[in-house]
Structure 1
Amino acid sequence: MSRRNTSRKRLVQPDPIYKSKLVSMLTARILKSGKKSIAQKIIYNSLELIKDRSTSDPLHILEQAVRNTTPLVEVKARRIGGSTYQVPIEVRAYRGTNLALRWITKFAKERSGKNMAIKLAHEIMDAASETGNSIRKREETHRMAEANKAFAHYRY
């Protein structure tokens, strides 16, 4: 890590169709080998599938899925006196959103099936209805933090 300058946080540009920063953040998570147009096609196709299968706005469903998947606390390894403790810390809003998007895309990729747009649409709809693997990951993270609450005084 450079000691000279702290890196500036880059502002996220909204996507061209939905004018949403959340969609462009999701594009960055799906991106492979710098092929942004393919990643955007996958996301737009999955949002079209969500629009066909549900009555409400697909962007609203995506926001609900991210809100449901966002963790409130996580554990961070902290080395104190030769032993490592899992210290529970609160998650800031931006990091929580990033974790939620990362988990949704990870578990969408792991789903069975061929088409990534279909897999992503199913994972988003599952997360919006509070089921699916990304929700299970959030619950697991909360359980880990709850189990290690005794080490909360090592917070920094």
Structure 2
Amino acid sequence: MSFIILRRALQLNLPHKHAIYNSLRVLQIKNYSVYPPNYVEPIYHPDQLKKLSSDERKELLHKNIKPPLQNQNASVFFDPILRKFVNHVMKGGNKAMARQIIEEAFEKVKRIQIRKFHLEKDVKKQEVILTNPLEIFHKAVENCKPVLDVTPVKKGGVVYKVPVAVPDHKAQFLAFRWLVDSSREHEPRRSHTGEYFSDRLAKELLDACDNLGKTIKKKVELHKLCEANKAYAHYRWTK
């Protein structure tokens, strides 16, 4: 039925035919979902369950819940943020290779930090040194997340770069992309210096953990661009 309405709306010269087309496309995409919209996301980790109140738990008892994905589990080795980062590192659908590269990078981060820990003579400074590569990864991602971004807005035939707030999922996406791009600047995988991609990724994670490096520089440049265009911020809410 929706295809018939869509075809007739495009044949007729209606003033809002493009809006009708977009609305029907959204409805068509929603119909392809495996689960109805009343199904809620699964809670598969004990830490997530502890954060729920008693009323929220009682409410979940009467709701339909989606089954967890194959790689979603309550294992201590499961990390949803790291799982997304694996997809950004992956090339050509070779996820096993992406996991291997990240494991190599984490191992090199661990070796560097352990060596740094043992060379430090001051006990108080030793306590500050992070030796867990997963903690370093999470801290690096948080440091790389931008707060603002620019979006193009057309006014009077001129396109302005308008600063807008970045939602958390997009900020995480930009942090992942910058980390990977900064580590891939010397493609192919082994450069003339003899460094592997995992070596550069390990170095970039350590630098980002200390608010240094190329990825942090990209975030700062984006914030400077937003600062330079702050006079157009009100265009975000005008037509």
Match of 2:102 in 1: 43
Structure 2 gap ranges (5+):
1-20, 34-67, 114-129
User: By how many angstroms is 1:62 displaced?
Assistant: 0.4
Alpha-carbon distance in 1 for matches of 2:90, 2:233: 36
User: By how many angstroms is 1:28 displaced?
Assistant: 0.8
User: By how many angstroms is 1:108 displaced?
Assistant: 0.6
Structure 2 residue corresponding to 1:128, chosen from 204, 209, 232: 209
Alpha-carbon distance in 2 for matches of 1:56, 1:140: 30
Do 1:14 and 1:24's aligned partners in 2 also have CA atoms closer than 8 Å? no
Give the CA RMSD over aligned residues: 2.4
Return closer, same or farther for 1:38/1:76 CA change in 2, 3 Å cut-off. Answer: same
Match of 1:71 in 2: 146
Letter aligned with residue 219 of structure 2: R
Return closer, same or farther for 1:146/1:39 CA change in 2, 3 Å cut-off. Answer: same
Larger Rg: 2
Q: TM-score, normalised by structure 1?
A: 0.89
Please list the CA deviations of residues 47-68 of structure 1 after superposition, one character each: whole Å capped at 9, or x if unmatched: 1111111142111100110111
Alpha-carbon distance in 1 for matches of 2:140, 2:154: 34
Q: Secondary structure at the match of 1:136?
A: helix
Higher relative contact order (CA 8 A, sep 6+): 1
Alpha-carbon distance in 1 for matches of 2:97, 2:72: 17
The answer to whether structure 1 residue 62 and structure 2 residue 137 are counterparts is yes
Alpha-carbon distance in 1 for matches of 2:132, 2:72: 18
Please list the CA deviations of residues 120-148 of structure 1 after superposition, one character each: whole Å capped at 9, or x if unmatched: 11111111111110000000000000110
Q: Secondary structure at the match of 1:110?
A: coil
Do 1:46 and 1:118's aligned partners in 2 also have CA atoms closer than 8 Å? yes
Structure 1 gap ranges (5+):
none
Q: Secondary structure at the match of 1:32?
A: coil
Identity %: 31
Match of 1:119 in 2: 200
Letter aligned with residue 97 of structure 1: Q
Match of 2:78 in 1: 19
Q: TM-score, normalised by structure 2?
A: 0.59
User: By how many angstroms is 1:87 displaced?
Assistant: 0.1
Do 1:68 and 1:127's aligned partners in 2 also have CA atoms closer than 8 Å? yes
Letter aligned with residue 109 of structure 2: I
Alpha-carbon distance in 1 for matches of 2:198, 2:76: 17
What is the correspondence of 1:96-111 to structure 2 with a 5 Å cutoff? Answer: 96-111=171-186
User: By how many angstroms is 1:18 displaced?
Assistant: 3.0
Match of 2:10 in 1: none
